[in-house]
Structure 1
């Protein structure tokens, strides 16, 4: 009598069912893992969008005020915009940086006439409003904004290659940081109703410590070098200002002059050696300005990708003021400027890469309203002597 195959068939059936359940379980687990991985990627991407830095990708417990005394004045980079052919200006910048303990990288400027016409945003009439040297200057600044964004720099300071500054620049920028914090950082205690528009530099209100920059966490531009600024008076923009009395780096009032504004409120209403810090208004010339990561993104979007209808300094000005469909940006400045143009001895036509129509010869080198000029004092210091005051007090 032969045995029945049913028990063996049952075993095979149970094994097949077990294997099927195992396969289903495996597929289920794989699906769960794939979904979890996908969800993690979504969360990670969302988190990266939320945490992409505006001033720094590596948050600190507190940004130290002492960083203003480092080789980049508390910014991540200092750039000097310079045509490669202007060896004379590059030599001067390097010498000034050496005497003041700064590290400066050169960013190559451009000749506007050599730019590709297709690379310049145009109007409906297929024209750009500026050309030549002005166009090259605009693109040169835009290239630095792009680099700040591309390299994800927390901030950078941009200067032009004819810039000069005081030998005491690090102390000046420390004061600038203190004043800027007072203007942009949240207060520890809310301001009183009778505070007014002026804050005394020696009695600044307590603010929450900044996490990203020694200058504060809520700014786009710090316009330290210019040809003129005015106090915000008429517009709806913030009118708060910080007044610093007794700043020995500021010349006497008789020496204060600006080619674009007269009378000068700082000169008419305040005592000698007064410095003011305030929101930017009416700025002319981009001799030296800091840009945060947030600010660089805004400038790249609003000024580099649109038709340049004005020279670069005026475009930055209208961005700061929030006019002509641009901005508004959070822009802080100081009067008198901390960065000024140096005019060397030599033919006047050599002193500008944009306006070449000047004629004549300058007999004596000069830097406007900069008392201990780093450029002018280079030879003095090399000779082992103390600094010379270019704008001494007169009784």
Structure 2
């Protein structure tokens, strides 16, 4: 599974790597709502939550579905501006001005994307103009509680009023906690954007994408970008541009804006030298499948303690050598065991480090 971006005909000057204060605010709100996704931010979350004004905290709950699951495309409004080449603003105020440029239909569809977006990457009617989508939005909102019902009904009945409410709320968040966050992270974000832009100009798009994440790749013909994720999606730059937006708060999320008619955006976390490259979805699937068989689990138990030959494993388990070889082959293909030769014998041993990382790798894979 993956999200693909068709970039055939994309001019080099239409590729931009730019931080976005509004996108970073969206990620900050997400971290505050789902701190379990971001263990490295626990201290910051605790500090902000402790001093948060109760009225602002209540308003944060009123619309948390805009950023709790992940964050809404509303936090990257530059992608929805006609022409599909607009860059994020240099300040939060400039980004909020871009948000004001979205039509009511764009605003409503983006705000309700996690509850009623039947054709996210396909053309279709909007929730404000289609009675069936409107009913569906209210029905699905009812499953998520009265707060979301109230917000959804207000949005459907009076989009300008809700837009003003959202802008005021985001400005209040900036005053309460985000201005300090942005002052701290904007320089590392700008430095990362400059570095990747230089890499783009010197070595090309493939190398720039590889520096973003091992999950982002350019095909051999340089016409398609593929982002390895547990979702399917597709979009195209067509006659617009392509944006890469860094975040300091986003790991482990690697987000792809692929809404139909909007400029494609990859919102990526800053890399850290101490963090290993995440496995691909295919690798994760292989590893989880390999460990789902009881015989292979018992083999792993032995190989965690010592190195064994195929013959020794066959004797311990009362199976034939070919049967054991097949199980060992599955574990080896999944990258869970290592082999080494000692004379004429081949010894197998569990890669304890790889197995120990399975939990965090799985979590990163499903949150990516």
Q: Give the greater-gyration-radius structure (CA).
A: 1
Quick one: higher RCO (CA 8 Å, sep 6+), 1 or 2? 2
Query: TM-score over 0.5 for the alignment?
Result: no
Point out the structure with the larger helix share: 2
TM range, normalised to the smaller chain? Answer: under 0.3
TM-score in terms of structure 1 length: 0.21
